[in-house]
């Protein structure tokens, strides 16, 4: 059954879902996304990835600053949509919008609900050392990611997987799941199950301060932190190269052997002792520079094994 769909999303993660919905023949009557934001050195206004995709498909694009006015609800109602599909839109839908589509509003959420409700589920799962993640199709309600779940797909998180790699795996998986959910919804076969009350965790928005690597922590914790923040916003270490502390972005790490006082450089491969174990800085990036291996970074410094960093 072909459905009239209002799609609501903003980042790259949402583009495959929009593409699959269009490809499966549903009528996407409008696309809501965040307004173009300034980016780059010239601070030019750049449309969101979802807006660019919608324009390629010839779908009308709307970028309202709020959905909480009577005018916004009236405009939404005019689409006469059967269902709204929401994927990382970036704005909270008020009840006045949630009540409008006949078949409800479906959200694609990048976690195994109720674990990691909220803004940064992919990063938080990796940062916590979770062994698995996944995507859920949830029927939206007023609470933050509290609605009943209709479909779920899970995926393993490898011990070296970064948040960026998990993002790239979940995005197409979610697109496929949502199109299957819409097919079931169209024939009246999509059933929703309330989320359990146990196991709820919240994926709070990331802050720059929590990306700092402290060698006084266990190596496993630093490894999970670094891969959970890679490639963006990135974990960082503060290293004194003779001109005061310099922030070094750490993009990829590995657990390594060795022990010494926390913060001691153990070898010329950029292995650093932690409170428990050691972590190797496999890929780093200086401010304004390009990513390089930890060994390459050390060759451009005076840091030798035994140095405190």
Min mean pLDDT across 39-43, 202-206, 250-254 is at 39-43
Neighbours of 13 (CB within 10 A): 21
What CATH number is attached to the domain comprising 34? 3.40.50.170
Q: Which domain holds residue 222?
A: 209-299
- Distance in angstroms (rounded) separating the CA atoms of residues 166 and 59: 29
Domain total in the chain: 2
- DSSP 8-state symbol, 218: B
Task: Specify the pLDDT at position 40.
Answer: 66
Task: Specify the pLDDT at position 93.
Answer: 96
Same domain for 151 and 250?
no
Question: pTM for the full model?
Answer: 0.95
CB 294 within 8 A of CB 269: yes
Among residues 147, 174, 202, the one where a domain terminates is: 202
Mean pLDDT in the chain?
Answer: 95
Same domain for 82 and 227?
no
Among residues 202, 229, 259, the one where a domain terminates is: 202
Same domain for 155 and 255?
no
pLDDT category at 50 given cuts 50, 70, 90 is very high
135 lies in some domain: yes
Same domain for 37 and 151?
yes
Handedness of CA 265, 270, 274, 278 (dihedral sign): negative
Kindly report the CA angle at 69 between 67 and 73, in degrees rounded to 5? Answer: 65
Contacting residues for 246 by C-beta, under 8 A, at least 6 apart = 238, 239, 240, 286, 287
């Amino acid at each position: 059954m072909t459905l009239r769909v209002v799609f609501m999303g903003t980042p790259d993660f949402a583009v495959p879902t929009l593409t699959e919905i269009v490809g499966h023949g549903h009528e996407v009557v409008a696309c809501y996304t965040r307004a173009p934001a300034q980016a780059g050195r010239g601070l030019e206004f750049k449309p969101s990835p979802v807006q660019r995709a919608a324009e390629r498909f010839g779908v009308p694009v709307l970028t309202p600053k709020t959905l909480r006015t009577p005018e916004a609800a009236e405009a939404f109602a005019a689409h006469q949509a059967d269902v709204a599909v929401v994927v990382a839109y970036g704005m909270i839908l008020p009840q006045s919008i949630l009540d409008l589509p006949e078949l409800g509003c479906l959200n694609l959420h990048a976690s195994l609900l109720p674990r990691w409700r909220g803004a940064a589920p992919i990063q938080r799962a990796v940062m916590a050392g979770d062994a698995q993640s996944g995507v859920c199709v949830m029927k939206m309600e007023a609470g933050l990611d509290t609605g009943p779940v209709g479909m779920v797909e899970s995926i393993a998180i490898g011990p070296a997987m970064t948040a960026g790699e998990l993002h790239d795996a979940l995005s197409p998986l979610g697109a496929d799941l949502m199109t299957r959910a819409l097919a079931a919804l169209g024939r009246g076969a999509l059933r929703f199950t309330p989320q359990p009350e146990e196991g709820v965790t919240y994926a709070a928005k990331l802050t720059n301060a929590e990306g700092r690597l402290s060698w006084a922590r266990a190596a496993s914790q630093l490894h999970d932190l670094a891969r959970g923040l890679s490639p963006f916003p990135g974990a960082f270490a503060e290293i004194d190269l003779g001109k005061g502390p310099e922030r070094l972005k750490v993009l990829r790490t590995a657990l390594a052997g060795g022990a010494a006082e926390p913060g001691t450089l153990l070898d010329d491969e950029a292995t650093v002792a932690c409170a428990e174990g050691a972590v190797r800085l496999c890929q780093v990036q200086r401010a304004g520079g390009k990513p390089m291996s930890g060994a390459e970074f050390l060759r451009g410094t005076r840091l030798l094994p035994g140095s405190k960093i």
